[in-house]
Chains A and B, each alone.
Chain A
């Protein structure tokens, strides 16, 4: 306990400088701004704003990126409640009851509950992160190459299990991501692979190009398919302070959402979206009268909002302790850390304590800023929502292009992004989700390196993965997961669950 307080003191010491507070503020504001806009998710948001952090030192850069992430999360629910168009996929369920509340004239209450629920969940999850990280990192430091490889296999398989749609397509998408990760110089032999004589490819594909193309461009093009005009809730939002009854109804839901979300955030492949869906389902299951859900039940806003924010925070645990991103957003964070010269993993905590704890402390500060700033700023966000999409998307594309171009000041990255936009659009049309691909791409080089090292140590004996108990357990769980999900009865249930979600 003392150690925890000590660590948090280091963190707050690092985060509470004027300039770091500024970056945190800028991050949450930019994140909210883009999160409010429908049709551009957190992955594309981070990709878009990443170049703005290139010239910063590591801590402010990571503080700002983390702020962008939970800011985007937060902005997404504002849109969900006011326009019935979730700004993020994790706010899809918030729209169900939130929008109905808004139509009943309780938009203010819904927004306030969403904000307070998120803040409470954020506090709990941040504390959990601070408490769980050191022991996790201690275990992780004992991992050998074989364990790491098996852990990554488990992470990728779990991501498939929790992804939408067909399992086999998701596995294929992971493999495609792994193959794309091969492009560039092989670290061991120095040989250029799949570079086709293009000098820009010798350094490998940049993850920003893939993320921006598949999540940014493809999403914009997809949005342009629908002609439908958005119905903005034009009435002024007032009554931001929820009544006592509302609070009383919402408080237990917030608590349950926080617990569930914190847990689901840690799981590989989990994260905010799954947490929100599960929390909503749970509330509906345990409610005495489930028929009020979907008609403006405050619990339907409180629980998923708490859950998605809790999960957003706890998903940093596997990233910061194991160096393994559990979802695409965290994959973006890995990329950002590598650009800053930090290899994510258990050693970050011991070697750069101020960075590690500073980032955690900043998350709490950022959450506080969101509550304090955003409720008064809601009027501004509503105005932003009234900007027609035909003006919005060229602006989004401009920022995307500038971001990609400035990666290495080279137009080739822009062309590559356009290519991945095309590929991503086509794959989505064929029911292939892009998220597993991005995870595979980020983990690919790490997997190859650990595979090589493990096999070198065992002198080419693949049984090493099964002889080592920890590695065997991890692989066993992966197999089990795959078998379970391929079992016909589970498969049907899973499809139903996702159907309900859509």
Chain B
């Protein structure tokens, strides 16, 4: 078993290699055309092959060079920030901007170091009012402000 000596290089290389090979496999269905008349698949194939080669080289340098370990991922903020964002996406159309903002603030604030639920709730409500006024009444962005079943 060869040892990974430079994990940051190794894993970055893996990401590039996986995306490069994936793009080449998917792109192999597209017509290549010729150099003079390039098809939809020509440029993608060139790029994905180059990306795969570089990805492989970077991955290989993970075995050949020494480097620091990968820092720990901050899993809690990572998870709750992204979760809050996705929840916002799901709720915005159904429950309207105001409620989605409160939900987004509560969930993402929970990902921080100190979570005070009363404070987060207050912040969410203030932000919700501000955004409804500015974005919906002011800038007229096409968001529903309130849940669909209320305005019907």
Do B73 and A217 touch across chains, with their CB atoms under 8 A apart?
no
Do B131 and A402 touch across chains, with their CB atoms under 8 A apart?
yes
Q: How far is the CA of A461 from the CA of B93 in the complex (A)?
A: 52
Query: Which of chain B's residues 35-75 have a Cβ closer than 8 Å to chain A?
Result: 35-40, 43-44, 47-48, 50-51, 54-55, 57-58, 61, 70-71, 73-74
Q: Give A392-428 as 1s and 0s: 1 = Cβ < 8 Å from B's Cβ atoms.
A: 0111011011100110010110110110011001110
**Contact residue among A172, A402, A432 (Cβ-Cβ distance under 8 Å from B51):** A172
Do B140 and A55 touch across chains, with their CB atoms under 8 A apart?
yes
Name the residue in A52, A172, A182, A458 with the highest tally of chain B Cβ atoms < 10 Å from its Cβ.
A172
Closest to A409 in B: B142
Q: How far is the CA of A136 from the CA of B140 in the complex (A)?
A: 40
**Contact residue among B12, B16, B81, B97 (Cβ-Cβ distance under 8 Å from A217):** B81
Q: Does A462 contact B (CB under 8 A)?
A: yes
Closest to B39 in A: A189
Q: Does A176 contact B (CB under 8 A)?
A: yes
Q: Does A41 contact B (CB under 8 A)?
A: no
Interface size in chain A (residues, C-beta < 8 A): 66
Interface size in chain B (residues, C-beta < 8 A): 70
Do A193 and B27 touch across chains, with their CB atoms under 8 A apart?
yes
Do A418 and B85 touch across chains, with their CB atoms under 8 A apart?
yes
Do A393 and B112 touch across chains, with their CB atoms under 8 A apart?
yes
Do A179 and B38 touch across chains, with their CB atoms under 8 A apart?
no
Do A394 and B105 touch across chains, with their CB atoms under 8 A apart?
yes
Do A415 and B86 touch across chains, with their CB atoms under 8 A apart?
yes
Closest to B24 in A: A179
Q: List B contacts of A224 (CB < 8 A).
A: 74, 77, 81, 111-113
Chain B residues touching A, majority SS = helix
- Contact status of A191 and B30, CB under 8 A, knowing A51-B141, A179-B44, A430-B11: yes
Q: How far is the CA of A448 from the CA of B115 in the complex (A)?
A: 49
Q: List A contacts of B109 (CB < 8 A).
A: 390-391, 394
Do A168 and B57 touch across chains, with their CB atoms under 8 A apart?
yes
Q: Does B82 contact A (CB under 8 A)?
A: yes
Q: Give A448-463 as 1s and 0s: 1 = Cβ < 8 Å from B's Cβ atoms.
A: 1001100110111110
Q: Give B102-137 as 1s and 0s: 1 = Cβ < 8 Å from A's Cβ atoms.
A: 001100110111110001100110010001000100
Do A414 and B88 touch across chains, with their CB atoms under 8 A apart?
yes
Do B15 and A426 touch across chains, with their CB atoms under 8 A apart?
yes
Q: How far is the CA of A425 from the CA of B82 in the complex (A)?
A: 11
Do B89 and A405 touch across chains, with their CB atoms under 8 A apart?
yes
- Contact status of A431 and B35, CB under 8 A, knowing A221-B78, A397-B81: no
Smallest distance from the beta carbon of B140 to chain A beta carbons, Å?
A: 7
Do B127 and A415 touch across chains, with their CB atoms under 8 A apart?
no
Smallest distance from the beta carbon of B64 to chain A beta carbons, Å?
A: 13
Do A176 and B119 touch across chains, with their CB atoms under 8 A apart?
no
Closest to B43 in A: A448
Q: How far is the CA of A412 from the CA of B89 in the complex (A)?
A: 8
Q: Does A178 contact B (CB under 8 A)?
A: yes
Q: List B contacts of A176 (CB < 8 A).
A: 16, 19, 51
Closest to B34 in A: A460
Q: How far is the CA of A55 from the CA of B139 in the complex (A)?
A: 8
Q: List B contacts of A421 (CB < 8 A).
A: 81-82, 85
Q: How far is the CA of A5 from the CA of B89 in the complex (A)?
A: 50
Do A456 and B37 touch across chains, with their CB atoms under 8 A apart?
yes
Smallest distance from the beta carbon of A181 to chain B beta carbons, Å?
A: 9
Q: How far is the CA of A289 from the CA of B136 in the complex (A)?
A: 58
Do A398 and B131 touch across chains, with their CB atoms under 8 A apart?
yes
Q: Does B99 contact A (CB under 8 A)?
A: no
Query: Which of chain A's residues 432-490 have a Cβ closer than 8 Å to chain B?
Result: 432, 447-448, 451-452, 455-456, 458-462
Q: How far is the CA of A406 from the CA of B81 in the complex (A)?
A: 19
**Contact residue among B84, B108, B124, B141 (Cβ-Cβ distance under 8 Å from A406):** B141
Do B78 and A395 touch across chains, with their CB atoms under 8 A apart?
no
- Contact status of A430 and B74, CB under 8 A, knowing A189-B39, A224-B113, A451-B43: no
Q: How far is the CA of A30 from the CA of B135 in the complex (A)?
A: 15
Smallest distance from the beta carbon of A360 to chain B beta carbons, Å?
A: 27
Name the residue in B16, B74, B123 with the highest tally of chain A Cβ atoms < 10 Å from its Cβ.
B16
Do A414 and B89 touch across chains, with their CB atoms under 8 A apart?
yes
Closest to B120 in A: A394
Q: List A contacts of B50 (CB < 8 A).
A: 175
Q: How far is the CA of A391 from the CA of B48 in the complex (A)?
A: 42
Q: Does B95 contact A (CB under 8 A)?
A: no
Do A422 and B23 touch across chains, with their CB atoms under 8 A apart?
no
Q: How far is the CA of A175 from the CA of B20 in the complex (A)?
A: 9
Q: Can you give 21 contacting A-B residue pairs, CB < 8 Å?
A: A51-B141, A172-B51, A179-B48, A220-B77, A225-B74, A391-B109, A391-B119, A391-B123, A394-B109, A397-B84, A401-B88, A406-B142, A409-B142, A409-B143, A411-B93, A425-B78, A427-B12, A429-B8, A430-B9, A458-B36, A460-B37
What residues of chain A have their CB less than 8 Å away from a CB belonging to chain B? 51-52, 55, 166, 168-169, 171-172, 175-176, 178-179, 182, 186, 188-189, 191, 193-194, 217, 220-222, 224-225, 227, 389-391, 393-395, 397-398, 400-402, 405-406, 409, 411-412, 414-415, 417-418, 421-422, 425-427, 429-432, 447-448, 451-452, 455-456, 458-462
Given A169-B58, A402-B135, 18 more A-B residue pairs with CB atoms under 8 Å apart are: A169-B9, A171-B54, A172-B58, A175-B51, A182-B44, A191-B30, A221-B77, A224-B113, A390-B113, A394-B124, A397-B85, A397-B104, A405-B88, A409-B142, A411-B90, A430-B70, A455-B35, A461-B36
The 8 closest A-B pairs by CB, nearest first: A460-B36, A414-B89, A460-B35, A224-B77, A411-B89, A430-B12, A186-B40, A394-B105
